[in-house]
Copies of this chain bind each other. A is one copy, B any other.
Amino acid sequence: MSIKIIIADDHQIVRQGLRTLLEKEPDLEVVAEAEDGRKTVSLVEEMHPQVVIMDVNMPELNGIEATRQILTRHPGVKVIALSMHTDRRFVLNMMRAGASGYLLKDCAFEELSQAIRLVLANKTYLSPGVAEIIIQDYVRGIPQQASSAFSVLTRREREVLQLMAEGKSTSQIAEAIHVSVKTVETHRQQIMNKLGIRSIAELTKYAIREGLTSLEI
């Protein structure tokens, strides 16, 4: 039986390219594609893949949060992060979220293929550049508790923060996560209280620094 894979990336042409590459390997099967984190989570529920290739930066729900949610419910699924950045924050948070591998988009396809085999054998695969970062941090004795959004804010709060930082209005957020406007308002207040921030502009900057959103509009 072939290995079932879901591809999550916000760019369709990248997904198509990856799919074509993956399907050249006879034992790999791409069973679904997702363009954002939320979609990825629900597709995992539905399709039960063994592996998820996950872009780190996605709209709606980022790859880190999506990974966390997927692994809470399906601890057996192997998530391989595929990212443009070697930003230590992304790497750290992604691995904390339970990813089995972290590859840079600037890698050869052969590396991805190899990574899939490795994670299925319960090993961890890191791109060379990424491994370096982790080792550097380790030898430098950098305190491994980035006391950030990921420790202060709850899951839901991070979700709401991301959507806010993407420019969504309260009602749009309410619609996106299927709760009432009032709930979103409460979350926002809670976030602002916890962070001691009082404006959307500063929240946005915070979210950018924490990697919850990017500078792109």
Which A positions have Cβ atoms within 8 angstroms of B?
10-14, 16-18, 20-21, 24, 35, 82, 84-85, 87, 103-109, 112, 164-169, 197-206, 208-209, 213, 215-217
Which residues of the partner chain B approach A166 to less than 8 Å between Cβ atoms? 201-202
CB distance from A90 to the nearest CB of B (A): 10
* Cα-based distance from A213 to B205 in the complex (angstroms): 10
**Which of these, B14, B103, B199, contacts A167 with CB under 8 Å?**
B199
Q: Is the CB of A13 within 8 A of B105?
A: yes
* Cα-based distance from A217 to B200 in the complex (angstroms): 11
Q: Is the CB of A24 within 8 A of B13?
A: no
**Which residue, of A84, A112, A213, has the highest number of chain B Cβ atoms within 10 A?**
A84
With A14-B17, A16-B21, A109-B16 in contact, is A209–B215 under 8 Å at CB? yes
With A11-B84, A17-B16, A24-B20 in contact, is A201–B204 under 8 Å at CB? yes
CB distance from A102 to the nearest CB of B (A): 13
CB distance from A55 to the nearest CB of B (A): 11
* Cα-based distance from A14 to B112 in the complex (angstroms): 12
**Which of these, B84, B167, B199, B215, contacts A198 with CB under 8 Å?**
B167
* Cα-based distance from A208 to B204 in the complex (angstroms): 10
Which residues of the partner chain B approach A84 to less than 8 Å between Cβ atoms? 11, 216
* Cα-based distance from A165 to B164 in the complex (angstroms): 14
A199 and chain B: residue at smallest CB distance: B167
Which residues of the partner chain B approach A21 to less than 8 Å between Cβ atoms? 13, 16-17, 20
